[in-house]
Amino acid sequence: MSPTVPFVSPPKLLGPFSALEDCDFSFVGEGASNVVFEVRVPPSKRGSISSKLFEGTGNLLRVPKAGTKAYSYEDLHAYWETVVKPLFEPQNLVQHQLILLGGEAVIRRLNSILEKEDATRRADFRGSRVAMAKYGMLIEDMRQRHPDDLTFEFKPKWLAQSPSAPPTATRCRNCAREALKRHANPDRQPKSSAILCPLDFRTCATSPISLANVLNHLTPRVHKPTANAHPPSVSLNGHSPASPRPTPSQSARLRHWLQTNTLLPRLRQAQLANDGLGPLGADASDPHFQLAMTLRDCTCFVRVPANPELPIEAKLADLDKKNWMAKMEYWRAMEQKLIEGGYYEGKEVPRMETGCVLERERGWMKGIGEQVKEVKDDDGV
């Protein structure tokens, strides 16, 4: 399949211009380029067009931030429909629809909510505002449906090594990137917290250490760290702030999902299939490479229902087309920095603790090598 974007007919629009004007909003979350709000129809507007559109739909409103280099929502939607959607099963994607925001009044209200949230927002997001955009997206709400549902989100990031990483690397691209982040800003997180290596997702079925690492990270309050497992971190943005303590049945279902899901292997396969060269070798205008970068920066939402009869839901979101013209230089410079700074090989000074799967495997190989050497020495070989 070619990831070039063919012509797509104009998006199906939801709602007349005034649909959002009747609604109340509250802040749900944000990233570098977008903000997500809950939409509620006040009781006085029951029976209105808005209530027909939003009540009981389980949708949230996603809107673009001002001042970013991201593509417009029309472009993101066309890319998602034609390039991203065919790669995954529909039940593994957070579905969305474009909606007309309907003018400045709604955006001003969203911005006044953001302003009130400023004190508690991530420092580098504080002060950012919603763009005066034409469209928002109605997105499937992946939060709890029942107060006892277990929910969390994480960024799977680079599920395979970067093709332009050095062959001597003892860290994957994500762990190298995390080491650089901590090196640049050691106070960013408590020093003791380690990073979940994305390669651990791949080995959950075969390695109890990988499974424990992932569980500790995703549901930190339940799975006590074992000697070899690493404590939770926010490196993959995994968290379950509103979730209750999982029941034994939820823990068992989550374990089973981690060991058997086909979504993360499929995501990894698509990352690999679209980039065999890495940021240093890829042609900046290659749509496959651009797609690989989109697939390396998405979010996975997981909901483990309280009701054991209901299946686990796992869906990818934030599969936005990357503005390669604005980002290629950053991607190349980042790869160069990770290589030259020794971050792929754990040679930075002072050395940051990351707990990468590659490092663990090298450690075992070294250990086995030393045992073999000892046996050979004992035998006088």
Ligand X SMILES: O=P(O)(O)O[C@@H]1[C@@H](OP(=O)(O)O)[C@H](OP(=O)(O)O)[C@H](O)[C@H](OP(=O)(O)O)[C@H]1OP(=O)(O)O
Ligand Y SMILES: Nc1ncnc2c1ncn2[C@@H]1O[C@H](COP(=O)(O)OP(=O)(O)OP(=O)(O)O)[C@@H](O)[C@H]1O
User: Considering the rule CB under 6 A, would residue 32 count as an interface residue with ligand X?
Assistant: yes
CB of 325 to ligand X, least distance (A): 12
Window contacting ligand X (CB under 6 A); options: 30-38, 42-50, 74-82, 162-170: 30-38
User: Considering the rule CB under 6 A, would residue 33 count as an interface residue with ligand X?
Assistant: yes
Task: Candidates 293, 298, 302, 319: give the one binding ligand X (CB under 6 A).
Answer: 293
What is the rounded CA–CA span in Å between residue 147 and residue 264?
27
Window contacting ligand Y (CB under 6 A); options: 139-147, 209-217, 327-335, 363-371: 139-147
Helix axes of 287-295 and 263-274: crossing angle, nearest 10 degrees:
150
Q: Which is nearer to ligand X, 79 or 331 (CB)?
A: 331
Lookup: tokens for 336: 């160069």
Window contacting ligand Y (CB under 6 A); options: 33-41, 80-88, 173-181, 351-359: 33-41
How many residues sit close enough to ligand Y to count as binding (CB under 6 A)? 21
Q: How far is CA 252 from CA 215, 259, 306, in A?
A: 11, 11, 12
Helix (H, G, I), strand (E, B) or coil at 333: helix
What is the rounded CA–CA span in Å between residue 329 and residue 315?
30
Q: CB–CB of 304/250 below 8 Å?
A: yes
| Residue 317: contacted member of ligand X, ligand Y, none (CB under 5 to 8 Å, by partner type) | ligand Y
Q: Give the number of other CB atoms < 10 A from CB of residue 370.
A: 10
Cβ neighbors of 147 (< 8 A, separation 6 or more) are: 244, 306
| Residue 117: contacted member of ligand X, ligand Y, none (CB under 5 to 8 Å, by partner type) | none
Q: How far is CA 300 from CA 184, 224, 319, in A?
A: 27, 23, 10
CB of 58 to ligand X, least distance (A): 25
Q: Which is nearer to ligand Y, 9 or 185 (CB)?
A: 185
| Residue 143: contacted member of ligand X, ligand Y, none (CB under 5 to 8 Å, by partner type) | ligand Y
In degrees rounded to 5, what are phi and psi of residue 152?
-160, 165
Look at the alpha carbons of 155, 161, 165, 168 in this order and tell me if their dihedral is positive or negative.
positive
User: Considering the rule CB under 6 A, would residue 31 count as an interface residue with ligand Y?
Assistant: yes
CB of 137 to ligand X, least distance (A): 15
Angle (CA) 189-193-199 rounded to 5° is: 110
| Residue 29: contacted member of ligand Y, ligand X, none (CB under 5 to 8 Å, by partner type) | ligand Y
| Residue 140: contacted member of ligand X, ligand Y, none (CB under 5 to 8 Å, by partner type) | ligand Y
Percentages (nearest 5) of helix, strand, coil residues in the chain: 40, 15, 50
For ligand X, the binding residues (CB under 6 A) are 31-33, 155, 177, 293, 296-297, 322, 327, 331, 334
For binding to ligand Y (CB under 6 A), which residues are involved? 28-34, 36, 60, 62, 94, 139-143, 153, 299, 301, 317-318
